[in-house]
Amino acid sequence: MSGLKLKKGDRVRVIAGKDKGKEGVISRSIPETGKVIVDGVNVARRHQKPTRAMQQGGIIDKDMPIQVSNLAMLCSSCGKPTKVGFRFEPDGTKVRKCRKCGSDI
């Protein structure tokens, strides 16, 4: 699966699953699996052994990947969850746009 419509830094809202209604910013994209990691969403508690990089061991909260189909992009101008559309500039560049209000994302 390639060509995700959501990218790192996009503000999204969860529309399905245990975290439905939560909002966050995409911190990492995994296009091979069609998943992204959103800050503060789909958090799991993991046991961490002490290592050189992480001196303190214990139970840590870790953001886990979430399927892109369970997310909706929040438009920066209208502020509503929307689908992502595309349009082409006259010089041939591809631009993402909001399907609700039509503004560029």
The full set of domains in the chain, from first to last, is 1-50+57-74 (2.30.30.30), 76-105 (no CATH)
pTM for the whole thing?
A: 0.82
**Chain-centroid distance, C-alpha 38:** 5
Residue 13 and residue 76: Cα distance in Å, rounded?
13
Query: In this predicted structure, what is the pLDDT of residue 105?
Result: 83
Query: In this predicted structure, what is the pLDDT of residue 2?
Result: 56
Residues 6+ apart with CB under 8 A from 35: 65, 66, 67, 68
Query: In this predicted structure, what is the pLDDT of residue 78?
Result: 85
Query: In this predicted structure, what is the pLDDT of residue 96?
Result: 92
Residues 6+ apart with CB under 8 A from 46: 59, 60, 61, 62
43 beta partners? 63
Chunked into runs of 10 residues, the chain (105 residues) has average pLDDT values of 81 95 96 95 93 85 95 90 92 91 85
